Chain A
Amino acid sequence: MTTRDLVLAALFAAIIVSLGLLPPITLGFIPVPITAQSLGVMLAGVVLGSKRGTFAVLLVLLLAAIGLPVLSGGRGGLAVFAAPTTGYLIGWVFAAFVTGYIAEHFVDRGQTGLVQGVNFFLAALIGGVVVLYAFGITYLALVTGLGFSKAFLGSLAFIPGDCFKALIAALAGRAVMVGYPLLPQRA
């Protein structure tokens, strides 16, 4: 990793931490308030690509693990890895990687704005929702002994908010690509 890659990942980790310090946003049509932090995870993949995006997310989790209150709501310390929702934190790493991987391979500067936007949205949706919930629900099911279908039922309420975040991530990803392109491009 070059020094620039290291700095980009660290700065993005700082952005993810900052997003967690901001008050949660309530959207009119969704019952659960959404935190901007998991939006940051999708953004890391969309803006930085798989490698640097994954490193940024790993850094945030490392900071939390060593006792800094960097997760939304001021959570931190090893105890956050002892919660029933820990699977979502582990899922972040893979969410950023998959989002970044898809964005790198399917978004191209030659495409029209609409195609770029749709591809970014699919990247964020597959990485930041499908992959994330696969980890989150599996962990919840195993750790509580609830079983998959019940664990899925319990997580259902959060899915609309995360789909909305994928949309925001796609729009932001495109805007950042226009303003300050960083995504490693296919040869």
Chain B
Amino acid sequence: MKTLYVEGDSLLHRLAPRTKLLGLAAAGIALFLFRSIPPLALAAVISVAIYASLGIGLRQSLARLRPIFLTIAVVALFTLLVGSVEEAATVLLRLTSLMLLAAAVTATTGIGEFIDEITLAAWPLERLGLVKAADIGLSIGLVIRFVPEILDRYHAIQDAHRARGLKPRVLTLAVPLIILTLKNADEIAAAIDARGIRAQR
């Protein structure tokens, strides 16, 4: 799976992940405090400038932002139909700014940095006995590891349908996919314990 991180040496790349995340949270709150168009328009211009400074390129940026921008645009359009121009512009500017800033943090922060940050953030929860911080990194690794295998299995089940002249249906695909995948769980769990990866309580 390709991550959305982009190699680079911009100011945002060099900032600590925590600074970026706290900055994003602050920006998110600020964007919802502004209620008039001029400051929101200014925020949108600044957000575009920040995103542009990363040097991702127009085509790549469009590919990344289009799906989310489309939902924002559709909702803004709907707001225009049932509300006022001002309301629609507020929604459009506010959410587009937030989207750009969030995408900028994502593009400049590697997965490893995020996992380190999450592990640190989870430490108080570990003290309370709710989660084990190290489990988070392990779980993320497990998911990334098994997605390609599940897709392969999905195609194999699809082929098995075709070979027997059956029309593939959501239900008859999903059920064997789930059973076959989860049946591995016992052996994977045994392997994790056998290798002493997850120190026992």
A residues with CB within 8 A of B: 1-4, 6-15, 17-18, 21-22, 25, 36, 39, 43, 47, 59-60, 62-63, 65-70, 73-85, 140, 143-146, 150, 153-154, 168, 171-172, 175-176, 179-180, 182
Contacts and interface: CB of A to CB of B under 8 A. Distances in A.
B54 to A, nearest CB: 13
Given A18-B147, A66-B114, A79 B170 contact: no
Given A59-B140, A180-B182, 9 more contacts: A6-B135, A6-B142, A17-B147, A18-B151, A39-B174, A66-B115, A68-B111, A144-B75, A150-B83
Contacts of B144: 63, 68
Given A18-B151, A143-B95, A47 B178 contact: yes
Contacts of A22: 154
Contact of A13 (B111, B136, B143, B183): B143
Interface stretch (B7-15, B38-46, B96-104): B96-104
What range describes how many residues of B lie at the interface?
35 or more
Contacts, number: 192
A39 to B, nearest CB: 7
B168 to A, nearest CB: 10
B34 interface: no
A83 B68 contact: yes
A-side binding surface: helix, strand, loop or mixed? helix
Contacts of B193: 3
A92 to B, nearest CB: 15
B92 to A, nearest CB: 10
